């Protein structure tokens, strides 16, 4: 190949609807439902992953959902229930016949059954528990005794374990002769005589070693034990931070009671991120596209009311300068620019701070460095936009003094925005208040009040 020849990298194919259920597929499925053609419906649904079927049930209306479930009947799989949004899961369960429901939940792991039970009324909980085998029912009921959002609720009770003195051959023989292994597992947990976990051995190392090799020599260097009462958000953080695949869960006596796998931990992490995004916007974390108008209105009204109160507070600041605004109309024209820039800058700092707190990247050791950085960013951006707006103010209204006033107000508000956007979430967390839930209203209020006061106050001093 000559030096002047280059290899062009293949282009990445991007499709807007990648991994989503196409409109044609949905239309075909609903057409089969309209025709009451069960064979055609089963044929169309057969290739679909349970997650895709769950998406389908969430997208269609309640009437079509009822008809589809009734027609699909005994083909309904328990994994579909696990994938469903909580907002319609209870509705779907109520549409399933007792026999179909029993068959659907029997093959689920204990952690998936616990996840189903958490959001159901007692009669539906009893119906699902009655469908389980006695041993599975006891395991699920024991998991339900742990606090909500704890590792005990998140774990699955099905654990593959072996005594710490076994060798590879003994472990393999045990696995081959066992009839009740979990459908998926990644490690064998080694335990001492008191049933306390002492190490993990991956299946890869197990299958790649000779039979006489002792399991103790194959344990992973990274080994974390999760208390059953630990908050599930901290569990998800540990999995993400230490690149865990699975981790044993222990009770108050440090005895092995279950295991948490990476899929469940990442689901929690995804939920935490989603909650943070929704709460930053003042939307209830339990909201979904399947909610009815009344439910959505009730959830959003309180935060809109809070925003109204903060807006009134900002208006009271403006009212103190109504004579100046009446005298110099240009102040009313330029005033929203200062508040808007401050609000946007504050939101940027706020988002970074809330995310850093959630991932535990923002700690006591670096908090002041992060605050100084955001303030300096606000100062530099403030100076840059001060030049721009000062020039605009001078050209637009022919007043050098007015250009200087808005330039100075821009610098002040962007510096305060950086400080408030970072400082307020930190203070709220110290007070035990969720920063993602409450920071937005406080930061907006601070940037609006400071922006209006700085701009109008400087205008009174300089222009009048």
Smallest CA-to-CA distance from 187 within 227, 152, 130, 225 is with: 225
Intervals of CATH 1.10.357.20 along the chain: 293-463
Intervals of CATH 1.25.60.10 along the chain: 23-145
Side by side, the strands of the sheet bearing 256-261 are 226-227, 246-250, 256-261
What pLDDT is recorded for position 394? 86
Parallel, antiparallel, or unpaired: how do β-strands 246-250 and 226-227 relate? parallel
What pLDDT is recorded for position 431? 86
User: CA-CA distance, 162 to 12, in Å (whole number)?
Assistant: 46
The answer to whether 128 and 113 are in contact (CB under 8 A) is yes
Long-range interactions of 361-364: CB distance < 8 A, separation 24+: 362/426
User: CA-CA distance, 162 to 141, in Å (whole number)?
Assistant: 25
What pLDDT is recorded for position 244? 92
Q: How many CA atoms lie within 13 A of 312 on its CB side?
A: 6
User: CA-CA distance, 269 to 7, in Å (whole number)?
Assistant: 40
Output phi, psi for 275, to 5 deg. Answer: -60, -40
User: CA-CA distance, 199 to 223, in Å (whole number)?
Assistant: 6
At the fourth CATH level, which superfamily is domain 293-463? SLC41 divalent cation transporters, integral membrane domain (1.10.357.20)
Residue-level length of the chain: 464
Per-10-residue mean pLDDT for the chain, 464 residues long? 50 55 86 92 90 89 92 87 82 85 80 81 81 83 88 90 94 90 89 95 93 94 93 90 92 94 87 68 55 70 75 83 81 86 88 81 85 92 91 87 90 92 89 78 86 88 82
What pLDDT is recorded for position 9? 46
User: CA-CA distance, 66 to 94, in Å (whole number)?
Assistant: 10
Q: What number of H helices and E strands is found in the chain?
A: 21, 6
Cβ-in-10-Å burial (0-12, 13-18, 19+) of 217 comes to exposed
What pLDDT is recorded for position 259? 94
What pLDDT is recorded for position 375? 92
Q: Looking at domain 161-264, which of 3.30.2320.80, 3.10.580.10, 3.30.450.20, 3.90.1150.10 is its CATH number?
A: 3.10.580.10
The answer to whether 422 and 370 are in contact (CB under 8 A) is yes
Query: What is the topology classification, in CATH, of domain 23-145?
Result: MgtE N-terminal fold (1.25.60)
Per the rule left: phi > 0, alpha: psi between -120 and 50, beta: everything else, 349 is alpha
What pLDDT is recorded for position 188? 94
Intervals of CATH 3.10.580.10 along the chain: 161-264
Both structure tokens of 37: 């053609």
């Amino acid at each position: 190949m000559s030096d002047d020849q280059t290899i062009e990298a293949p282009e990445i194919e991007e499709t807007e609807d990648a991994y989503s259920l196409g409109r044609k597929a949905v239309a075909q499925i609903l057409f089969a439902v309209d025709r009451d053609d069960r064979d055609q419906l089963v044929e169309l649904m057969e290739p679909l992953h349970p997650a895709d079927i769950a998406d389908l049930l969430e997208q269609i209306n309640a009437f079509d959902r009822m008809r589809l479930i009734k027609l699909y009947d005994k083909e309904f799989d328990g994994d579909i229930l696990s994938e469903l949004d909580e907002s319609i899961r209870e509705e779907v369960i109520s549409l399933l016949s007792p026999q179909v429901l029993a068959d659907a939940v029997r093959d689920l792991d204990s952690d998936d059954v616990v996840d189903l039970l958490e959001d159901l009324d007692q009669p539906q909980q009893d119906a699902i528990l009655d469908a389980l085998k006695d041993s599975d029912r006891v395991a699920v009921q024991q998991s339900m005794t742990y606090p909500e959002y704890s590792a005990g609720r998140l774990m699955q009770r099905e654990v593959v374990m072996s005594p710490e003195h076994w060798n590879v051959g003994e472990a393999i023989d045990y696995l081959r002769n066992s009839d009740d292994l979990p459908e998926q597992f990644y490690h064998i947990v080694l335990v001492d005589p008191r049933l306390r976990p002492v190490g993990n051995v991956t299946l890869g190392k197990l299958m790649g070693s000779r039979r006489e090799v002792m399991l103790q020599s194959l344990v992973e260097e990274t080994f974390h034990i999760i208390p059953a009462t630990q908050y599930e958000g901290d569990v998800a953080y540990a999995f993400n931070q230490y690149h865990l695949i699975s981790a044993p869960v222990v009770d108050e006596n440090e005895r092995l009671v279950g295991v948490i796998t990476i899929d469940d931990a990442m689901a929690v992490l995804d939920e935490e991120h989603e909650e943070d995004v929704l709460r930053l916007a003042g939307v209830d974390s339990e909201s979904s596209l399947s909610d009815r108008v009344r439910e959505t209105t009730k959830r959003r009204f309180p935060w809109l009311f809070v925003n109204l109160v903060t807006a009134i507070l900002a208006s009271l600041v403006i009212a103190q300068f109504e004579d100046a605004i009446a005298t110099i109309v240009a102040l009313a024209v330029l005033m929203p620019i200062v508040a808007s820039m401050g609000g946007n800058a504050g939101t940027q700092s706020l988002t970074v701070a809330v995310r850093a707190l959630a991932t535990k990247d923002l700690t006591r050791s670096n908090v002041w460095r992060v605050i100084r950085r955001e303030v300096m960013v606000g100062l530099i951006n403030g100076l840059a936009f001060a030049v721009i707006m000062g020039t605009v103010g001078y050209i637009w209204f022919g007043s050098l003094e007015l250009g200087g006033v808005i330039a100075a107000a821009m610098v002040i508000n962007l510096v305060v925005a950086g400080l408030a956007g970072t400082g307020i979430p930190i203070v709220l967390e110290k007070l035990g208040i969720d920063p993602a839930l409450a920071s937005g209203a406080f930061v907006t209020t601070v940037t609006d009040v400071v922006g209006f006061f700085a701009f109008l106050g400087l205008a009174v001093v300089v222009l009048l």
